[in-house]
Structure 1
Amino acid sequence: MHLDSTLQLMAMHVHNAHTDGDAMILHTGDVFFNGRYPFIDLNSGGTIDGTIKAVNSALFIVNKDTKIIPGHGEVANGDDLMRYRDLLMTIRERVKNAKDSGKTLEQVQSMGLTKEWDKAQGQGKTKPRDMVESVYNSLD
């Protein structure tokens, strides 16, 4: 949709990110928590894989000039969103490897898999243990 000759509005539906009915319109909603760990609402259909997929969809349409309004945190840009996606992918991989090796949730939570981000990202509603739990419980 074109708002005028210089502004364009894009909307896209994303599956199983924060919930199973998310959409993004420049404002990412709760798919992007800038500067903190996300809340992935497992009870409403949210998953780590859906969140990563949604962020990748947003990265496909942004450029260096795009201002991104996250669901939580300061206005961001494409580099911020890419760092967030990379953080999510790294945590997912670490938790999956630990889970696949037979570790329980409690064991995985005690492994310090998010330690390099905890001070910066773990100050919001989702604490480091909660982040690991959400990822662990949303993996197949």
Structure 2
Amino acid sequence: ENIRAVHFPKGHTDGDTVIFFTASNVVHLGDDFFVERFPFVDLESGGSVEGLIKNIGALIQMIPSDAKLIPGHGKVSSIDELRDYHQMLMETTLVVRKQMKEGKTLDQIKAAGFGEKYKDAGSGFINTAAWIETIFKSYSFEMAK
């Protein structure tokens, strides 16, 4: 089988590689994709929330609509679940960035959370407070450049 490896920088880490099994129509996304959960973005290893959002958006355009997706965490999934994940990344990031622009502290943003919509997404390895902190730190670092 023809296997294609594509590097996606500055997502989960700066060394993320997505594997395309072309004949089988299977794509292994590794830790760039956590099904129905907040992801772990390793800021210390070159990852960034903005990069992850960009990479997932690019992957949605590249992956065939009928492909089976293997995430780093969670069940074998579809492109629709990847789209939902991308939407969650964008929406939660927008919430945090808006509050950052309003001058709110990390603790204030954590206290506000995301409401009911993404309550279950925070029940995994990365809880809601940790995801908010990751977004906050990722964009604080980007703004400091």
Q: Given the two structures, how large is their TM-score scaled by the length of structure 2? A: 0.86
Alignment of 1:13-92 (within 5 A): 13-25=7-19, 26-92=27-93
Give the match for residue 135 of structure 1.
135
Percent identical residues: 36
CA distance in 2, matches of 1:113, 1:13: 31
Per-residue CA deviations over 1:54-105 (Å, capped at 9, x if unaligned) read 1112111113211000000000100000000000001111110100111110
Give the match for residue 9 of structure 1.
3
Q: Are the counterparts in 1 of residues 37 and 123 from structure 2 also a CA contact under 8 Å?
A: yes
Give the match for residue 105 of structure 1.
106
CA distance in 1, matches of 2:137, 2:114: 15
Aligned-residue Cα RMSD (Å) equals: 1.2
Q: Given the two structures, how large is their TM-score scaled by the length of structure 1? A: 0.89
Q: Residues 43 and 114 from structure 1, CA distance in 2 versus in 1: closer, same or farther, beyond 3 angstroms?
A: farther
Give the match for residue 116 of structure 1.
117
Q: Are the counterparts in 1 of residues 11 and 47 from structure 2 also a CA contact under 8 Å?
A: yes
CA distance in 1, matches of 2:46, 2:104: 24
Q: Are the counterparts in 1 of residues 113 and 129 from structure 2 also a CA contact under 8 Å?
A: no
CA shift, 1:118, in A, is: 1.5
CA shift, 1:36, in A, is: 1.1
User: When you count strand as a share of all residues, which structure comes out higher?
Assistant: 2
Residue type of the partner of 1:79?
D
Q: Are the counterparts in 2 of residues 33 and 70 from structure 1 also a CA contact under 8 Å?
A: yes
CA distance in 1, matches of 2:6, 2:85: 19
Q: Residues 83 and 21 from structure 1, CA distance in 2 versus in 1: closer, same or farther, beyond 3 angstroms?
A: same
CA shift, 1:114, in A, is: 5.2
Q: Are the counterparts in 2 of residues 16 and 46 from structure 1 also a CA contact under 8 Å?
A: yes
Q: Are the counterparts in 1 of residues 12 and 48 from structure 2 also a CA contact under 8 Å?
A: yes
CA shift, 1:116, in A, is: 1.2
